[in-house]
Structure 1
Amino acid sequence: MNLHDWIDELADALDLDDAEIDEGLVLDLARVVAHSVERPAAPVTAYLLGLAAGSQGADPAGVEALAARAQLLAENWERPAGAKDPDDVDDPVPDDSAVDHVGETFEV
C-alpha cells in the first residue's frame, strides 16, 4: 500500500466525497513545523490546516494560502530559552551485540 492508496481508503472511511489533497504541500508543512516548532506540532498543524480549509470552504489555492501562513509562522517560531532542538534527539541505541556483522560494508 502506498500513500495514495491510504488517502483514498481513509477518505472513503471518513465519508469524504471527492477528497483532493496536495499531500506534498501537507508533508512539506509538517516537515517545517516538526523542525521549527517540535515534532508533535506537525500532525496537529496538519489537522488544523484541514479544519480551517473545511470551515472556510477553501479551494486548492485557498488551502495553499492557509498552508503558507502556517509555514511562515513555523519558520519564524522562536523556541523558549533552553528548549531542546527537535533535531537533537537522544534516541536509544539498540543493543545488537548478538548480531554478526562480519563482512558488512558501510557507506560514508
Structure 2
Amino acid sequence: MPDVLSTWIAQLAAQLGVDPTHVDRTLLLDVARDAAHGVARPAAPLTTFLVGYAAGLRGGGVDAVSSAAAVAQRLAAEQPPKTDDGPSAG
C-alpha cells in the first residue's frame, strides 16, 4: 500500500499533467529542509516552488530539477548563521 505522500504526489501530478516518475521526492524534501534550516521555515515551500519553476523554464526533466536544486541548496548553505530570533541581520 502506498504511503500518503506517494498517493498525494500521484494525484497532484495527474491533475497537473506531470509524470510522477520524474518527481525526486527525496531531493525536493532535502531542498525544503535546507531552506527551512538555512534561511527560515517559510523559505521551504517558496524555494521548492522556485526550483520547479526554474526547471520548467529550462525545459523540465530530472537534470533541470537537479541543477536548480543544487543552486538552492548551495545558497541555503551559504546563509549566515541564524540567531534565536531568526536569520541574522546582514
Q: TM-score range by the shorter chain?
A: 0.7 to 0.9
- Partner residue of 2:76? 74
Which 4+ stretches in 1 moved above 6 angstroms? none
Q: Percent identity?
A: 43
Q: Given that residues 38 and 76 in structure 2 are in contact (C-alpha distance below 8 angstroms), is that contact kept between their aligned partners in structure 1? A: yes
Gaps of 5+ in 2: none
User: How many residues matched?
Assistant: 84
Structural RMSD (CA): 2.1
TM-score when normalising by structure 2: 0.80
- Please tell me the residue identity of whatever aligns with 1:43: P
Could you tell me how far apart the structure 1 residues matched to 2:64 and 2:18 are? 19
TM-score when normalising by structure 1: 0.68
- Partner residue of 1:91? none
Gaps of 5+ in 1: 87-108
Q: CA deviation at 1:62?
A: 2.4
Q: Which has the larger radius of gyration?
A: 1
- Partner residue of 2:44? 42
